[in-house]
Amino acid sequence: MRRRRRFYFPITRTLVLLIIMLVLMACASWMLVEHIKYLFASHNDLQNRTVLTLAANIVDGHINATLAHLQGLAYLSSVSAAGKDGAIRDEWLDRMRIEAKKIGFRRISISDFEGNTISTTGRQFNISNIAEQEQFQKTIYGFSSVSGVVTDRITDTSDTQGEVIIFQVPVFKGAVVTGALSGAIGLEDASSFLAGIDTNYSGNSLFIIDGSNRIITYSKILTDRNIHYRHSISFFDYMSNIIAPEEQGYILKNLGGLQAKNIYMYVTKKDQHYFSFTPLSGSSGWKLVEVSSEEGIISTQRNIIYRTGLLILAVTLSIIVSLLCLYIISWKYYKIRALNRTTLEKSGFHLFMLSPEGIAEDFDEGFAKLLGIPEHSFSFDFRELMDKDQTIFPQNSIRMGQSFRLPLHMADGRTIYLLIQVIGNEEGGFYQSFAVDVTKDELIQEHIRMIAYTDLITMLPNRESFSLKVEELGRRCLRESFNSAYLFININDTHKILEIFGDRVARNMLLEAANRLSSVAKECGGLLYNLGNDNFVILLESFSETQELKYICSKIKDLFLRPFVVFDNKFEISCRVGAVPCPEYLRQTPISPSDMFRYGEITMRLAKNPDNMFILNAKTYKSIMKELDIERDLAQSIIKNELELYYQPIYDSINDRIYSVEALLRWHSVRHGDILPKTFIPMAEKSGFINQLGDFVIDSAMAFASQLKDKDVKVQFNVSTIQLMQSDFADRLLAKFRKHCLSHFSVGMEITEACFLENAPGTREKLGRLRACGIMVFIDDFGTGYSSFSYLKDMPADCLKIDKTFVGGLETSNKQKTIIKAISYMADALGMLAIAEGVETKEQLDLVLQSGCRYVQGFLIAKPMPAKDVIDFINGFNSED
Ligand code: C2E
Ligand code: CA
Ligand code: CA
């Protein structure tokens, strides 16, 4: 990830920090331990002395303060409190109880000069009976003193009994001592003398001993023995394990002469215990003793070092744990981000920050790699890879949700496409965005476009492409006028190549044809398209005259003079060219692609001529359009009721009566007027409408035949070859025949010789079946086809209709007379009738009859007429006999 701003905790920095902290911590611990060691190591005599002197001062101070306090109370007291006035005494006692509690005295007692004493415990006695007696003597001489450890004999209960220290001060009245005030501190409370003196760190202990060396109090026991507060023990007894008996004597001797403020030190031989003694001046014979030992010091040292070490360890551990937690959280955060990023990158999405100027920042490695961004570069300008005239950047109104597609030209010549989507709001001039590489999609789309607009055999632009071009020209002609022409080309009989040589050769033939055509297209500056299979078109966007078109058309045709050689198969093919000049573009009238395809189709049809070439002009186009128009209307003729059957009578010369009528179709078109069958029947045949038309004719003719039932006049209708070729023709015809309940041979169908020549499968069987069912078969226009008489002998037919071309001009042609005679004779021989068509004059009638033809049809007899007229005609004609 190439970022300017990092949001996650840096791993390396964390590790470095952690290591530095551990090293610092280790150094600090080491220094601390060394310092403590130094402190202990500096334990020496001097220090001991200092500590002892200081402690002695504190204890002295405490003793003196206690005495001073007591003296203060002595001033307040009155000797009389000892006895006479009960009320005053009680008041004093109450006051003293409060004071005793404050100072920590078990009791306070006041004695008069005689030693009569009253105590805060409520007892009265004479001091001569108790321990303070000796001390009292001193006091009444005016001295304050502190006793040694004495047994308290005046305590009330066994609970409070025990050993005490007495503080005693004289009570003055003026300059005269009137008595003494005593305060007793139980040994259990004597520890307050050492309060505030902390010797724990040095591993030694302080003892206060009285003049008889009995332990008053201590700071720490040193042996296994406990010291009982009630019964004070001798210091040296207590220390007997440490100090040998001979040493005791030696120490005691030295202590005897110890002066105030002096310190006597002794180191025991066994275990090297240090004993330092100093007198406590405020008391009588009290001493402060400091006891220490190497072992004690070392164990205390160790203890403290361990504790300190543990503390440091705990602090270090907690710091490490916190850092680890922080590290894990940040690592997880980083991992999640990394995972998100990897997932994003894998999915092809690249997150980055985008500025409106087209600068990208904070992008990932994948993105950098994709765009070839140099290593260590954190910023990238999209414009470097874009066209100079690009209009995307700078983006004036960039906003969230906006997306755009960037084509980027890479250094290696590739073009890649990025789809950029802005997904965040502005942050310091940048927008959070992501990019997807859509190059593949773009290429696929390009390929799809190519497939959609290319003919995949010839690789030429296809029909859709051509449509777009026609549309484009249509739009262009609205702005400017120009002449253009479309040369539609179709290769003749390609289906034969496919049938003979197979698909591979046919395809390659098309490819070769396309190559040849493109050479001409190139030469004349045209564009070549393939409209599908063997249909091509060359578009000339400008040409000067029709002559030029003709020249190009023949050049195209000439391309096919040279035989094609495909996979060792040599064959010759030709093509036809239909040129469509478009003066519409000159008149600035757009032509739609569908119109253009229609023009193409028409010219290609018209090019089916010996020349294989046709240039469409306005006149032809109009007539074709008209024809197409008529063709379209014809399809509507039945529905619009525009069709009518006319009937032309056929005359039987022997019986001199009307033998039959021929149904001839008439189309009274509302739009085009009356149109002759010669025009519309071929149209109907071409469009396939002939079948519907034929059904209408057959139905109408049969209906008319049933009308003529009682007149013994047959009805013939014309059937086109196409109709006859329908496989179910016979079935349908017979069904109609039966529907109209017609008698046998009351109707007949006229077919041309072509029906036999086409040799449609099953024609003979069909006709045979129809004849067998009572429908007569007439062979129309006999003699105009490729008259092969051979088919006639097996043909199931009842009548030959001699074509009117043999009758017209009969008067002057002996040849025609002979033909009519021959046909009539042949018909007779085959058991058929013969009808002469188109008899218009009396002379022709005579000649036809002389030639042996019994039946006659023609204007001379009657013109085709509507049904009701023909009935009248028949009625009039036949009733004459
Ligand atoms: P076609 O079957 O040979 O019909 C006879 C044609 O000769 C009719 O022309 C008729 O009017 C005409 N004609 C009759 N007598 C004379 C005459 O003395 N002189 C001259 N010059 N012409 C005469 P039409 O009615 O115009 O029909 C032309 C053709 O159209 C018919 O020739 C027939 O092939 C076809 N056609 C007519 N109606 C139908 C039909 O309903 N179905 C089919 N398939 N073809 C029909
Ligand atoms: Ca006919
Ligand atoms: Ca005819």
Question: What are the pLDDT digits (tens) for 669-684?
Answer: 999 999 999 999 999 9
Q: Which of 335, 379, 427, 366 is nearest to 8 (CA)?
A: 335
- Contact residues for 617 (Cβ-Cβ < 8 A; gap 6+): 581
Which residue lies with its CA nearest to atom 20 of ligand 1? 838
Q: Is 864 in the pocket of ligand 1 (CB under 6 A)?
A: yes
Averaged pLDDT score across all residues of the chain? 86
* Cβ neighbours of 240 (radius 10 Å): 14
Report pLDDT digits (tens) over 499-546: 999 999 999 999 999 999 999 999 999 999 999 999 999 999 988 777
Written as six digits, the tokens of 429 are 């001039």
- Find the farthest-apart pair of alpha carbons in the chain and give their distance in angstroms, rounded: 210
CA 839 to ligand 1: nearest atom: 18
Is residue 201 pLDDT above 70, yes or no? no
Percent of the chain with pLDDT over 70: 90
Is residue 6 pLDDT above 70, yes or no? no
- pLDDT band at residue 41, thresholds of 50, 70 and 90? low
CA 697 to ligand 1: nearest atom: 41
Is residue 228 pLDDT above 90, yes or no? no
- Ligand number, closest to the Cα atom of 684: 1
Which residue lies with its CA nearest to atom 25 of ligand 1? 664
Q: Is 678 in the pocket of ligand 1 (CB under 6 A)?
A: yes
Q: Is 681 in the pocket of ligand 1 (CB under 6 A)?
A: yes
CA 860 to ligand 1: nearest atom: 18
Is residue 866 pLDDT above 60, yes or no? yes
Measured between alpha carbons, how far is 556 from 575 in angstroms, rounded to an integer? 8
* Cβ neighbours of 842 (radius 10 Å): 9
> Distance, CA 713 to ligand 2 centroid (Å)?
17
Kindly report which listed range (111-120, 226-235, 448-457, 499-508) carries the lowest average pLDDT score: 226-235
- Cα separation values, 872 from 10, 323, 591, 711, 866, Å: 118, 125, 56, 11, 10
Report pLDDT digits (tens) over 549-577: 899 999 999 999 999 999 989 999 999 99
> Distance, CA 857 to ligand 1 centroid (Å)?
11
Kindly report which listed range (56-70, 331-345, 682-696) carries the lowest average pLDDT score: 331-345
Q: What angle do CA 35, 41, 42 make, to 5 degrees?
A: 95
Kindly report which listed range (51-60, 197-206, 408-417, 810-819) carries the lowest average pLDDT score: 197-206
Q: Is 781 in the pocket of ligand 1 (CB under 6 A)?
A: yes
Is residue 223 pLDDT above 90, yes or no? no
Q: Which of 78, 176, 77, 143 is nearest to 282 (CA)?
A: 143
- Ligand number, closest to the Cα atom of 838: 1
Which segments within 190-324 are labelled E, that is strand?
205-209, 215-218, 264-267, 273-279, 287-293
Which residue lies with its CA nearest to atom 46 of ligand 1? 718
Measured between alpha carbons, how far is 33 from 305 in angstroms, rounded to an integer? 6
> Distance, CA 718 to ligand 2 centroid (Å)?
5
Inter-axis angle of helices 814-829 and 842-850, nearest 10: 50
Which residue lies with its CA nearest to atom 12 of ligand 1? 838
Q: Is 804 in the pocket of ligand 1 (CB under 6 A)?
A: yes
Report pLDDT digits (tens) over 655-671: 999 999 999 999 999 99
Q: Is 684 in the pocket of ligand 1 (CB under 6 A)?
A: no
Predicted local distance difference test score (pLDDT) of residue 680: 95
CA 460 remoteness from chain centre? 38
The listed range with the strongest mean pLDDT (34-38, 423-427, 799-803) is 799-803
Written as six digits, the tokens of 257 are 């002469």
> Is-contact 182 66, C-beta < 8 A?
no
DSSP reduced 3-state for 12 = helix
* Cβ neighbours of 267 (radius 10 Å): 14
Which residue lies with its CA nearest to atom 4 of ligand 1? 664
DSSP reduced 3-state for 719 = coil
> Distance, CA 803 to ligand 2 centroid (Å)?
9
> Is-contact 203 305, C-beta < 8 A?
no
Number of helices and strands (H, E) in the chain? 26, 34
Which residue lies with its CA nearest to atom 19 of ligand 1? 838
CA 458 remoteness from chain centre? 40
> Distance, CA 837 to ligand 3 centroid (Å)?
6
> Is-contact 461 455, C-beta < 8 A?
yes
Which segments within 753-806 are labelled E, that is strand?
775-782, 799-802
CA 803 to ligand 1: nearest atom: 3
Q: Is 674 in the pocket of ligand 1 (CB under 6 A)?
A: no
Average pLDDT over residues 712-740: 95
CA 717 to ligand 1: nearest atom: 41
Measured between alpha carbons, how far is 69 from 63 in angstroms, rounded to an integer? 10
- Cα separation values, 110 from 76, 84, 133, 734, Å: 12, 13, 13, 167
Q: Is 720 in the pocket of ligand 1 (CB under 6 A)?
A: yes
- pLDDT band at residue 496, thresholds of 50, 70 and 90? very high
- Contact residues for 478 (Cβ-Cβ < 8 A; gap 6+): 588, 590
Which residue lies with its CA nearest to atom 11 of ligand 1? 864
Measured between alpha carbons, how far is 744 from 750 in angstroms, rounded to an integer? 16
- pLDDT band at residue 93, thresholds of 50, 70 and 90? confident
- Ligand number, closest to the Cα atom of 781: 3
Is residue 158 pLDDT above 70, yes or no? no
Percent of the chain with pLDDT over 90: 43
Q: Which of 94, 100, 76 is nearest to 172 (CA)?
A: 76
Which residue lies with its CA nearest to atom 8 of ligand 1? 664
Q: Is 858 in the pocket of ligand 1 (CB under 6 A)?
A: yes
> Is-contact 320 14, C-beta < 8 A?
no
Q: Is 665 in the pocket of ligand 1 (CB under 6 A)?
A: yes
Predicted local distance difference test score (pLDDT) of residue 34: 76
> Distance, CA 777 to ligand 3 centroid (Å)?
13
- Ligand number, closest to the Cα atom of 678: 1
Which residue lies with its CA nearest to atom 34 of ligand 1? 718
Which residue lies with its CA nearest to atom 17 of ligand 1? 838
Q: Which residues of 134-155 are buried (b: 16+ CB within 10 A; e: fewer)?
A: ebbebbbeeebbbbbbbebebb
Average pLDDT over residues 480-503: 93
Q: What angle do CA 767, 768, 770 make, to 5 degrees?
A: 65
